[in-house]
Structure 1
Amino acid sequence: MFKRLFGFFSSSIAIDLGTANTLVYMQGKGIILDEPSMVALAVDRSGMGKRILAVGQEAKIMLGKT
């Protein structure tokens, strides 16, 4: 099952997890996603609980803000 599923996606989609930007390319459509490789997290006071606040460009805008 996984072989068939991954075979379908591998010929249709390419993902580049670059250091600055993440790119997703789809065959026949070109680059469909070009976003900064960033995630903004909220950590509770204990340091144990985390939740994602933003990803990509939205997270980059938040960089350095408290």
Structure 2
Amino acid sequence: MLTPARNSRELRSTSSNPFYIPRVKTKAGTRAFSVAAPTVWNSLPVSVKSEGNIVSFPRRLKTYLFNAAYPP
């Protein structure tokens, strides 16, 4: 359901592995998985997304979300 974003030229942002976000016409369409999932993934910092280990990814994600909800 997720499509990698394709650029016609090499950009610095390609290292962050962005996903294509389809255009929608309605407010309800923004809540669809095909729109919401790539939006959330693209908004994550590279430090969370670039973790190659499946065990440490949830830990980094949890830390990021906790810090976003309760800033110091």
TM-score, normalised with respect to structure 2: 0.24
TM-score, normalised with respect to structure 1: 0.25
- Larger Rg computed on CA atoms: 1
Higher strand share: 1
